[in-house]
Amino acid sequence: TTPLLQVNELSKRFDTGYRRFKRTYNQALHPVSFVLNKGETLAVVGEAGSGKSTLARILVGAEDRTTGDILFEGEALELRNLKQRCKLIRMIFQDPNTSLNPRLTIGELLDEPLKFNTSLDVKERKAQVIDRLRKVGLLPEHAEFYPHMISEGMKQRVAVARALMLNPKIIIADEALTALDLSVRSQILNLLLKLQKEMGLSYIFVSHNLNIIKHFSDKIMVLHKGEMVEKATTEDLFNSPQHEYTQRLIQEQDLLNHKRG
Ligand code: ADP
């Protein structure tokens, strides 16, 4: 069967200007390939500067790629076509305080993406907004609130609801759990897992923290200095990490766990 998302030899090189009369580049991402199936969760793990955000930003069309193909259900995806892409892939960011415009009400924030679905009238749009509020555990009344009036956890719920407005197939969460307090983190995680079951969503979790993602990822891709050093099912990666770098990551994480415990 055709995978939902197929990424072939995707790479990114930033042009960093001239030095000593020579062009200089920064290879942020060496060619990576992977597939994501319906309902699956892939984690992209690596330290700061490993290329995780560059990969995520290319997938949501915020950055051009240097090489590679991105196929959605077997067809080349035109990422620059915002309307087409927003119906397939949406992103949730680390900090809802910067990702949600503070001057818009929650209702307006959720209504905004619906401009891409021109077949809906005002009444239907309202109904969609209320439906997504309910889906993420908020109330219709919250539509009238501004982001500053609600808690951090509720703000992240709004960010999730906003990502769901156009019924995307894939959600990319860029460190979306990392900054949250532990109790809020597990609430948001449970919400995402519930939505995955209900809506058949596929997730790509981008994180520097193996601990956070290991309990719910089907497979893990490890990036190191822009290179994919290992790709395996979560079980295999933890039971028998093949690459030296992955082994080190797991050891460091274990040490941290012992310190905390
Ligand atoms: P991560 O998300 O894993 O922290 P990034 O994808 O942000 O890593 O960065 C990967 C590499 O790409 C880094 O070396 C970073 O400095 C570089 N980079 C990111 N954005 C740009 C840019 N706009 N111009 C030049 N280099 C960039």
Give tens-digit pLDDT for 61-94: 889 999 999 999 998 877 777 777 778 999 998 8
Mean pLDDT of 9-19: 93
- From 26, 47, 65, 223, give the residue whose CB has the most ligand 1 atoms within 8 Å, as the site to mutate: 26
Looking at ligand 1, which atom is closest to the CA of residue 14? 25
DSSP states of 29-47 as a string? EEEEEEEE-TT-EEEEE--
Question: Which segment of 31-35, 172-176, 190-194, 215-219 scores lowest on mean pLDDT?
Answer: 172-176
Separation of 29 CA from ligand 1 center, angstroms? 9
Residues 6+ apart with CB under 8 A from 202: 4, 5, 36, 37, 38, 39, 40, 41, 42, 169, 170, 171, 196
End-to-end CA distance of the chain: 44
Does ipTM surpass 0.95 in this model? yes
Atom 25 of ligand 1, residue of closest alpha carbon: 14
Looking at ligand 1, which atom is closest to the CA of residue 26? 26
pLDDT of residue 260: 65
Is the distance from the beta carbon of residue 46 to the nearest atom of ligand 1 less than 6 Å? yes
Looking at the chain, which runs of residues are DSSP E strands? Answer: 5-19, 22-36, 41-45, 67-72, 75-76, 89-92, 170-174, 202-207, 219-224, 227-233
Is the distance from the beta carbon of residue 28 to the nearest atom of ligand 1 less than 6 Å? yes
Query: With 60 as the cut, is the pLDDT of residue 261 above it?
Result: no
Lookup: tokens for 103: 């001057």
**Which domains, from first to last, does the chain contain?**
5-98+169-260 (3.40.50.300)
- From 54, 60, 221, 228, give the residue whose CB has the most ligand 1 atoms within 8 Å, as the site to mutate: 54
Q: What is the mean pLDDT of the chain?
A: 92
